[in-house]
Chains A and B, each alone.
Chain A
């Protein structure tokens, strides 16, 4: 009965490679998000999708490209990985973007290490 799941949990790769992280939610939510947590534990939003449509893009480098094939899935593809991309990436979802008061539910995170 997993609510928000992410794969893989760990990802170790070389600089310059391209990699993808997948996220799925079974909560029936309309909105999904990607957050990045840096080495100092600071969490910041990257993207938000509502019903497969991009609604927030927080000045993230265009090497990062989110894709939402349907409202239950939001994937994150990263091109030409750099050392500074090493972080924990969290996916989240919430139910109804039209409500001003919403709870966001987070996945377990994907720990990316770029060597």
Chain B
């Protein structure tokens, strides 16, 4: 199956700093999602981004499908950005079942 690795595993930022989280995957994919798991455990969809670049407020994501990686940018970080960020991918053909494979996560702590 597809292997998904995220880096760094842990990240501590001071409020206001910028950061880049990386997701590498071992095979071509046709689905890639970024999630934020907040300190209460909720999994929140950030981006659906199998290729290209998207932006949503202070967050943006870029997936370079041909090179098998995706980046999540967090600018002007806030304490509410703390939590674990997951990348999840899948590769499937039309008509087959969907099955996301999750990465190992990046644990982010934003301090005052």
Contact = CB atoms under 8 A, between A and B. Distances in A.
A5 to B, nearest CB: 12
A67 interface: no
Interface range, A side:
20 to 34
Interface range, B side:
20 to 34
21 contacts: A31-B97, A41-B37, A41-B105, A41-B107, A42-B104, A43-B88, A43-B102, A48-B98, A55-B97, A58-B99, A94-B98, A98-B94, A100-B92, A100-B94, A101-B50, A103-B33, A103-B45, A104-B100, A105-B45, A106-B35, A109-B42
Contact of B93 (A58, A100, A104): A100
A33 B41 CA distance: 18
B99 A45 contact: yes
A23 interface: no
Interface string B15-43: 00000000000000011010101000111
A99 B94 CA distance: 6
A97 interface: yes
Top 4 A-B pairs, shortest CB-CB distance:
A43-B102, A106-B43, A55-B97, A103-B48
B41 A48 contact: no
B84 interface: yes
A104 B105 contact: no
B67 to A, nearest CB: 19
Q: Which of A48, A55, A100, A106 lies at the interface centre, i.e. has the most chain B CB atoms within 10 A of its CB? A: A100
A31 B104 contact: no
A43 B86 contact: yes
Given A101-B30, A103-B33, A109-B41, 5 more contacts: A33-B98, A42-B105, A99-B94, A108-B42, A111-B41
Contacts of B52: none
B57 interface: no
Interface in B28-75: 30-31, 33, 35, 37, 41-43, 45, 48, 50
Nearest to A100: B30
A82 B10 CA distance: 31
B95 A98 contact: yes
